[in-house]
Structure 1
Amino acid sequence: MTYFPDYLKTYPNMNTSSPLHISLNRLPNGFRAHRHDFLEFSYVVEGAGREAINETLHEMLPGTFTFVLPYQIHELYTGTDGPLTLYNCMFSMDLLMESSAGEGLLRLIDLAGERPFVQLEGSDRERMKWLIEDMYREYAGREPWRQTMLQTRLKEILVLFDRTRRTAKLGGTSGGHHSADSLRAGDGRKTGSIWSIIHYIHQHYQDELALSDLAARFSLSVSRMSEVIKETTGQTYSQFLRDLRLRHACGLLASTEMSVAEVAMEVGYGSYKTFSRVFRESKGLAPKDYRRSIAARRSSADT
């Protein structure tokens, strides 16, 4: 039986039009094994430790930048030399899916077999430190164009990471490791990457996306497609699809004036009643009440 450690599903600022949260953390005792359905990067400021991503260990030192993909199991270890101080930024895959930029930065996730970390030195290290510190300042402030600046910094940070990773690989100082994410059908023919499937679901969850249609698109049997999604996400296909739709719905309820019926249609539910029932079962309250609770929370924070 596949073992799944803690599944973290939430982070501050998640259900907004700009789902991103950055924090500076001090870890005296590491952090337990966990996974999540959002993206995360970390950058070490002080201390030393190690990180395991899908059971592959790497060192964490000042200047280490790590990019963790959704559903990857990772754990942090610290030694006797003191705590590990690092920035952590959690954000939605949606921020990498801008239509104006084609596939945006989703190409980074397609490179799942590449090394998930770099050890930055020299000018690259100084540049990354400045970008992350500036992003942290923007997040904590309330300046005009805050969301635009945060998304701009995020893109600059990820581009710098990937450029550094590619340069190091070409120079022979670091190499990609073999990806365990490739899928094979019964005849042994490679049929695609699990990340291609995850991307496709993220891009089309608002449509009528039957498991059989998804399986046919990626040349897998329905049972194999079901197994792949369960093995990767720890959820059934219907649970995974529901969570994606409800996360989008929460963001729309919190950040727009769309009616509940319009939100239901926008996230892929053809029936208002079905959407309301599923939302209540998952969140414990009706969509309208959820919207009121978010508005009350914001009002309280502003006073």
Structure 2
Amino acid sequence: MTYFPDYLKTYPNMDTANPLHISLNRLPNGFRAHRHDFLEFSYVVEGSGFETINETKHAMVPGTFTFVLPYQVHEIFTSAGSQLQLYNCMFSMNLLMGSASGEGLLKLIDLAGAAPYIQLSGKDNERMRWLVEDMYREYAENHPWRQTMLQLRLKEILVLFDRARRTSGCDSEQTALNEGRKGWSVWPVIHYIHQHYQDELALSDLAAKFSLSVSRISEVIKETTGQTYVQFLRDLRIRHACGLLASTEMSVAEIAMEVGYGSYKTFSRVFRESKGLAPKDYRRMKAAKT
């Protein structure tokens, strides 16, 4: 039987127009093995330890920046006598998508062989610490243009990370390690589903696109996410719907179409099964909390 560690599906502000949460945490005893279907970065400011990401181990000391992709199993260990202090930022993949006139950062997560971490020093570390701390301050306040500033900081942080890892040597070492391992990467499939879940996307279409049998592509999706393809697609659509219900005035019928359901009736049934209440009731509940 395949072992699936804790699967974390929620974080503060997830169902909003700006699905992002940043916090400063102290870990005297590390953090258990887990995975999630959102993106996360961490940045260490004090202490020491190490982290494993899909069984690959790296040190965690001040200046360590880590970028964890969806469904990657990761675990943090704190060194004896130490206490890790680090920033953690969880956010939706949608925040990396560009507008019609702008450049998106989705290609950052399309680099399956790239190193998931970098040890920063000197001016790069000074700049990264300032960016992360400024993002944390902005998150805690309620200034005008808050959402815009948070998204700008997120993109600056990830660009700095990617530039640094491309020139550090970590990236080539990790790529060589990945190339030495046997197996086929499911990430392009997961990425494609995230980009196209609003369309009519049959499992047979995915199989044809990636030159795999239907049974094989179904198997690798289950191995990676712990869900069947139908469950995985449903969760992506319902999560998008929750954000729209909480942050827009779109009608439920419009939201059903937007997230990939051609039938209002089907959408309402699936939403109720997933959330335990009707879409309109969910909207009212979210509005009452604001």
TM above 0.5: yes
The equivalent residue for 1:141 is: 141
- CA deviation profile, 1:62-121 (whole Å, cap 9, x unmatched): 000000010000000012222110000000111112233676111111112121111100
Query: Counterparts in 2 of 1:4-153, with a 5 A limit?
Result: 4-100=4-100, 104-153=104-153
Higher mean Cα deviation, 92-101 or 50-59? 92-101
- Output the aligned Cα RMSD: 1.8
Aligned AA (2:3): Y
The equivalent residue for 1:275 is: 267
- Whole-Å Cα distance in 1 between the matches of residues 59 and 267 of structure 2? 46
The equivalent residue for 2:252 is: 260
Preserved contact between residue 165 and residue 171 of structure 2 (Cα < 8 Å): no
The equivalent residue for 2:216 is: 224
- Whole-Å Cα distance in 1 between the matches of residues 68 and 81 of structure 2? 25
The equivalent residue for 1:205 is: 197
Aligned AA (1:179): N
- Whole-Å Cα distance in 1 between the matches of residues 251 and 64 of structure 2? 45
Question: Is the counterpart of residue 159 in structure 1 residue 151 in structure 2?
Answer: no
- Whole-Å Cα distance in 2 between the matches of residues 52 and 170 of structure 1? 15
Preserved contact between residue 47 and residue 81 of structure 1 (Cα < 8 Å): no
- Whole-Å Cα distance in 1 between the matches of residues 166 and 60 of structure 2? 19
**C-alpha displacement at 1:182, in angstroms?**
8.1
Per the alignment, do residues 171 and 68 of structure 1 end up closer, same or farther by CA in structure 2, a change over 3 Å counting? closer
Preserved contact between residue 63 and residue 119 of structure 1 (Cα < 8 Å): yes
Preserved contact between residue 115 and residue 170 of structure 2 (Cα < 8 Å): no
- CA deviation profile, 1:135-189 (whole Å, cap 9, x unmatched): 00111111111111111100110010011101112998x65343379865xxxxx
* TM-score between both structures, scaled by the size of structure 1: 0.91
* TM-score between both structures, scaled by the size of structure 2: 0.95
The equivalent residue for 2:178 is: 179
Equivalent residue for 2:284, pick from 282, 289, 292: 292
- CA deviation profile, 1:224-260 (whole Å, cap 9, x unmatched): 1101111111110000000000000000000000111
Higher mean Cα deviation, 221-230 or 97-106? 97-106
- Whole-Å Cα distance in 2 between the matches of residues 49 and 207 of structure 1? 43
The 3-state SS of whatever aligns with 1:279 is helix
Preserved contact between residue 48 and residue 81 of structure 1 (Cα < 8 Å): no
- Whole-Å Cα distance in 2 between the matches of residues 30 and 215 of structure 1? 39
**C-alpha displacement at 1:125, in angstroms?**
0.4
- Whole-Å Cα distance in 2 between the matches of residues 270 and 146 of structure 1? 35
Query: Counterparts in 2 of 1:227-246, with a 5 A limit?
Result: 227-246=219-238
Q: Report runs of 4+ in structure 1 exceeding 4 Å deviation.
A: 180-184
- Whole-Å Cα distance in 2 between the matches of residues 110 and 30 of structure 1? 28
- Whole-Å Cα distance in 1 between the matches of residues 215 and 186 of structure 2? 15
* Unmatched segments (≥5 aa) in structure 1: 185-192, 299-303
Q: Paired residues, what number? A: 289
Per the alignment, do residues 278 and 20 of structure 1 end up closer, same or farther by CA in structure 2, a change over 3 Å counting? same
Preserved contact between residue 114 and residue 177 of structure 1 (Cα < 8 Å): no
* Unmatched segments (≥5 aa) in structure 2: none
Identity fraction in percent: 78
Preserved contact between residue 115 and residue 171 of structure 2 (Cα < 8 Å): no
- Whole-Å Cα distance in 1 between the matches of residues 145 and 39 of structure 2? 23
**C-alpha displacement at 1:41, in angstroms?**
0.3
- Whole-Å Cα distance in 1 between the matches of residues 220 and 103 of structure 2? 24
- Whole-Å Cα distance in 2 between the matches of residues 246 and 291 of structure 1? 13
Aligned AA (2:220): V
Per the alignment, do residues 90 and 171 of structure 1 end up closer, same or farther by CA in structure 2, a change over 3 Å counting? closer
- Whole-Å Cα distance in 1 between the matches of residues 144 and 161 of structure 2? 27
